[in-house]
Amino acid sequence: MADSLAADAVLPRLRGRFGREYTFVERCDSTQRLLPEDAPEGAVSATDEQTAGRGRLGRAWLAPPGSSVLASIVLRPDVPTARLAELSVVAGRACAAAIAELTGLEPTVKWPNDVLVAGRKVAGILAEAREGRVVLGVGINVAQREGELPERAEHPATSLLLETGTVLSKAELLAAFLDHLEREYDAWVAAVRQTT
């Protein structure tokens, strides 16, 4: 079984400013609900099991306990509201880069919020904007085996275990995602400000 996303596993691996305020619970309904309204930019919540995880269009995001990276992060970009929807793609690129860094796989981002490996969905992003902040939820399938993934007609699901044959460290993967997200996000904010 993959390791936990507990603070003592994740915090020593962080490379930048994202995740320095970190909340972990073993089980919750949704990591998005663990973040208070006044949480600072870069605050992260994570869990080993979500009971009411959601994907795009209200779809359920289901994963066996301990099998996935399940986390949310607060962003407070000073950009026009109309541009906030782009953050799903920004986060998707960061997720794909983190997976590539740790596995050598070549994930692709399918607009607006899916990360695919060889045409199969390995991760999803959910961005919710409200009152000047965006909470990005990320779910990455790490250690699921055949039969533990949802049936999907379009873009069947996969996991990094199925694609690589090895169980990755979830803590290392989350830290890599936060590092890539910070860089992608900073570049995106700078680019948006130049064009507005």
Coil vs helix vs strand at 132 = coil
**Which residues face 115 on adjacent strands?**
109, 123
Query: Structural domain boundaries of the chain?
Result: 7-195
Burial of 127 (0-12, 13-18, 19+ CB in 10 A): buried
- CA Rg, the chain, in Å? 15
Q: Are 146 and 71 in contact (CB under 8 A)?
A: no
Q: pTM (2 decimals)?
A: 0.93
Helical ranges in the chain per DSSP H: 7-10, 87-103, 160-164, 170-195
Say what the pLDDT of residue 9 is. 96
For 193, other C-beta atoms within 10 Å of its C-beta total: 12
Q: Determine the Cα–Cα distance for residues 133 and 141; give it in Å rounded to an integer.
A: 26
pLDDT, tens digit only, all 196 positions of the chain: 448 999 999 999 999 999 999 999 999 998 999 999 999 999 999 999 988 655 544 555 567 889 999 999 999 999 999 999 999 999 999 999 999 999 999 999 998 889 999 999 999 999 999 877 999 999 999 999 988 887 765 778 999 999 999 999 999 999 999 999 999 999 999 999 999 7
Q: Are 50 and 28 in contact (CB under 8 A)?
A: yes
DSSP string, 22-66: EEEEEEES-GGGGS-TTPPTT-EEEEEEESS-B-GGG-B----TT
Q: Which pair of structure tokens corresponds to residue 29?
A: 């309904």
Q: Determine the Cα–Cα distance for residues 97 and 106; give it in Å rounded to an integer.
A: 8
Query: 7-195 adopts what CATH topology?
Result: BirA Bifunctional Protein; domain 2 (3.30.930)
Amino acid at 131: E
> What phi and psi values does residue 8 have, to the nearest 5 degrees?
-70, -20
Say what the pLDDT of residue 19 is. 98
Q: Counting runs of H as helices and runs of E as strands, what totals does the chain give?
A: 4, 7
